[in-house]
Amino acid sequence: MLRIRVGQLHPVTAPPIETGAVLVEGSRIVAVGPDARVPRPATAEELSFPQGVLVPGLVNCHTHLELTHLRGRNGETQFPDWVRRVRALKEATSEEEFARAAEQGIRDSWAAGVTCVAETGSTGAVMAALARLGGRGVVFHEVFGPDPASCADAVVELEAAVVRLNPFVSDRVRLGLSPHAPYTVSAALYRAVSELARLERLPLAVHLAESPAEAALVRHGTGPFADRLRRRGIIVAARASSPVRYLADLGVLGPPAGGDGPRTLCIHCVQVDAADVALLSDVRAVVAVCPRSNLAHGHGSAPLAALRRAGIPVGLGTDSVVSVPEMDLWAEAAAVGIGGEAALRALTWEGARTLEWESAIGSLEVGKEADLAVFRSIPPTGAALLTVVGGRVVHRHSAAPAPAG
């Protein structure tokens, strides 16, 4: 058992508590409230942070932790060139480097108080590391293939990856699929991956409506992505629709068969209009926005307020350190003008709801999984003092007290 006492406790789904405490048994919260009302079992480890702030663990709704080693290594300024450079850097990376990058990315997340990630990657390194280290997250395995002629081979490789990664699946580690983006995935491959996801009841994630170059490709069959595809001998068609409408027409965005099943996570959603927002709501999609990455690439900003008004669950993500060097969710919230309790809710419960994990994490409530973090302040200054995933301490700052009792 673990008992944590703090100067201030934020359950998120209830008002803040001055001088609060939480009691953890196994992986779950068994008591939470004012310090005087939370039991003190003799067998529990006691941690006290008189000036600390206890909150649910943060949820990062879009990461590329397998790219942690590439921080600062892509100097391209134009997005299509940047995408191509990332691919080249990945091709030059060994399995061992990916494994080290994945572990470092997870540990960096824990140091920032992040207890759940939605990872998109093509190596499986993050899924293996989460399982080995006892982390929590959903890993969307990426698939690429803009040439329709390569669709069958891509699906065979994806099916093999699902078999390879399934042993890592647990209550805390989920597997999903990610047909990458309209400029790297053919219509045939989108359909095939969507069908595989439905058969296996796996969630989907797609990079969608991120850049003007992507929108030009889909709407008009023009722009730098279209030029590159044509140089490879791939036929490019003008779809005369938005990227959101294009994927909806392909059946990628849902709704799931029978109206249930996992929702599709749409990442970025910057190049969208009111009709796209309504369509995302109709198909029951969820959205991850990455404000600082979008600004860094000059893409603009996702219409966060409109998405929320439409009732679409929206979570914040940091994207990769190749786009923005620091994985700082609080900075992402600040970039869209969210602060205080609203920022805390966005980074915890709303993130959990976006990943369809709100019944287990995202707030401090009896019966929920003990995913939590202690900071010096909200918003925090510096690293988390303590981070706990499923009742287990995964990060302890040098300034944190040692367990007693």
Q: Is 401 inside any structural domain?
A: no
Q: Are residues 122 and 204 in the same domain?
A: yes
Report the C-alpha gap between 2 and 46 in whole angstroms: 6
CATH assignment at residue 51: 2.30.40.10
State which residues form the domain around 370: 2-56+363-396
Report the C-alpha gap between 154 and 193 in whole angstroms: 9
Number of domains forming the structure of the chain: 2
Q: Are residues 26 and 109 in the same domain?
A: no
Q: Are residues 345 and 227 in the same domain?
A: yes
Report the C-alpha gap between 386 and 76 in whole angstroms: 37
pLDDT at 256: 57
Q: Are residues 199 and 295 in the same domain?
A: yes
Q: Are residues 191 and 248 in the same domain?
A: yes
| Torsion angle, alpha carbons of 280, 282, 284, 290, to 10 | 20
Q: Is 262 inside any structural domain?
A: yes
Q: Which helix (H) or strand (E) segment is 99 a member of?
A: helix 95-111
Q: Is 336 inside any structural domain?
A: yes
pLDDT at 405: 44
Q: Are residues 62 and 40 in the same domain?
A: no
pLDDT at 401: 66
CA-wise closest residue to 71 among 297, 255, 324? 324
- The number of helices, as runs of H, and strands, as runs of E, in the chain is 14, 15
Q: Are residues 263 and 376 in the same domain?
A: no
Which DSSP category does 246 fall into?
H
H-type alpha helices, 259-314: 274-282, 291-296, 304-309
CATH assignment at residue 265: 3.20.20.140
Asked whether the bond before 379 is cis by omega within 30 degrees of 0, the reply is yes
Q: Are residues 38 and 179 in the same domain?
A: no
Q: Are residues 196 and 111 in the same domain?
A: yes
Report the C-alpha gap between 295 and 319 in whole angstroms: 12
CA-wise closest residue to 185 among 158, 209, 219, 150? 150
Q: Are residues 367 and 319 in the same domain?
A: no
Backbone angles phi, psi at 185, to 5 degrees: -135, 130
pLDDT at 399: 72
**pLDDT by 10-residue block (mean), the chain, 405 residues:** 98 98 98 98 96 98 98 90 95 97 98 98 98 98 97 98 98 98 98 95 97 98 97 96 97 73 95 98 97 97 98 98 96 97 98 98 98 96 96 90 57
Q: Is 198 inside any structural domain?
A: yes
Q: Are residues 108 and 245 in the same domain?
A: yes
Q: Are residues 40 and 161 in the same domain?
A: no
Is 184:79 a contact under the CB 8 Å cutoff? no
pLDDT at 263: 94
